Amino acid sequence: MNEQQIAYRIKQCLNRGLELDAGKLVRLKAAREQALARQRVESRIPVLAWAGNIIGKSGGPSALVPRVLLPMAVLILGLIAINHWRDSQLAAEIEEIDAAVLTGDLPLDAYLDKGFDAWLKHSSY
C-alpha cells in the first residue's frame, strides 16, 4: 500500500466521522502544524531549484562561494593576467623594432618613404 492509498483510506475514515478525545485532537493538531511547517520549507525549494544547477541543491547559499564566486574571481584574474601579458608582449615588440630601426643599416627615411616601399615592391619585393 503506497502513501496515496493510505491517505485515501484515512480520508474515507475521516469522512465517516471520528470521535476523538481531547488528547488525540491535540496530538493531531500538533502533527498537522508540523506538516504545514515542513511544507512551507519545502515550498521554497522550487525557487532555489531554479538556480539549483549553479548554486547546488544540497549546499544552499553557502555553496555560492566555491561554485560561483571563486571560479569567477579566478576567471577575472586570468583575463587581467592575459591582458597584462598581451600588453607587455606588444610593448616588448615595439621596443625590439624601435631598437632595430634606430641601430640598423638603413636610415629612418627608408622606413618612412612610401615611394621606397612601392619601388621595392615594383622591383620584385
Partner 1 sequence: MAKALFVLTLWLCTSLSTLAATPPKKPPTWGELASEQQRILAPLSDDWDNFEPQRKRNWIGIAKRYPNMKPDEQARVQRRMQAWAKLTPKERDAARARYKKMEKLPQQRKEGLKGQWEEYNRLPEQERRKLGSTPRKPSAAAPKVKPPATASPEQTAPPEVAPAPGPDR
C-alpha 24, offset from chain centre: 51
**By the rule CB under 8 A, 56 interacts with partner 1:** no
Nearer to partner 1, 20 or 92 (CB): 92
**34 interacts with partner 1 by CB under 8 A:** no
Q: Does 122 bind partner 1 (CB under 8 A)?
A: yes
List 13, 31, 32, 66, residue binding partner 1 (CB under 8 A): 66
* Rounded-to-integer distance, Cα 92 and Cα 75, Å: 25
Of the CA atoms within 13 Å of residue 26, those in its CB half-sphere come to: 3
Residue range at the interface with partner 1 (CB under 8 A); choices 19-27, 31-39, 46-54, 88-96: 88-96
Cell of 95: 621596443
Which residues of this chain interact with partner 1, rule CB under 8 A?
A: 62-63, 65-66, 69-70, 73-74, 76-77, 80, 91-92, 94-95, 97-120, 122-123, 125
